[in-house]
Amino acid sequence: LAKTTQPISMDSYEGQEVNITCSHNNIATNDYITWYQQFPSQGPRFIIQGYKTKVTNEVASLFIPADRKSSTLSLPRVSLSDTAVYYCLVGGGYSSASKIIFGSGTRLSIRP
Amino acid sequence: DTAVSQTPKYLVTQMGNDKSIKCEQNLGHDTMYWYKQDSKKFLKIMFSYNNKELIINETVPNRFSPKSPDKAHLNLHINSLELGDSAVYFCASSQEQSGREQETQYFGPGTRLLVL
């Protein structure tokens, strides 16, 4: 099983770039890396997904080194509204029968 | 126009009672899930259904019984509620992908269950 390890919490300030790293040493060849964001009293929301190298969308960037044993979610110029729990998830699609493991996430706190 | 909805939002009940949580998705997805999130924010999958068929059934007490009357609904019935069942329960749905990428899951707002 591709278990993930993330920092329990991180703090930063508005306007800064925040990088959250996730370790997944047992990632399988077919596994993708997906990040979700969860605000208090809400369900998780998809942020970004990647397989290798770099993926960027309007919200974040995802950096994946060649060995794929870790990944880094990068949030540019964070604001107070980025305060949330961020989950790293590793696995394939439903058809690959990979187990879905979210873990405990990283609690990101943004200060003025 | 909520994509994934759950009812009720809050549920407070006594130990030993039986309760149900309902989930509906209007996204036309094939797969639906139930997750349990404890006080430490650990999000753990309980069940997954694909086209009304049970696919994933994690180590969950058999007091928990999911029921999928159709592709758009996945309800969770809990018998003989215990204190340890207190948590937030999330329903989610996803659409099976043709490729190997992980399907994006769309989560409901959660049901906060408190067992007294």
Residue A20 confidence (pLDDT) above 70: yes
- pLDDT on residue A112: 94
- Cβ neighbours around B89 below 10 Å, total: 22
Beta bridge mates, A111: A13
Query: pLDDT tens for residues B26-73?
Result: 999 989 999 999 888 888 889 888 887 887 777 789 999 999 999 999
Chain A nearest CA to B22, separation (Å): 15
Q: Of A42, A94, A101, which has the smallest distance from its Cβ to B96's Cβ?
A: A94
pLDDT of residue A92: 67
pLDDT for the residue A97: 46
Cβ-based neighbours of A16, under 8 Å, separated by 6 or more = A77, A78
Neighbours of B97 (CB within 10 A): 15
- The one-letter amino acid code at A15 reads G
Cis peptide before A40 (omega within 30 of 0): no
Q: What pLDDT does A68 receive?
A: 95
Q: Write out the two tokens for B97.
A: 């992908």
User: Which is higher by pLDDT, B96 or A73?
Assistant: A73
Closest CB to B108 among A43, A99, A105: A43
B55 interfaces chain A, CB cutoff of 8 Å: yes
Residue written as tokens 């974040």?
A: A60
Q: How far apart are CA A21 and CA B104, in angstroms?
A: 20
Mean pLDDT of A41-53: 93
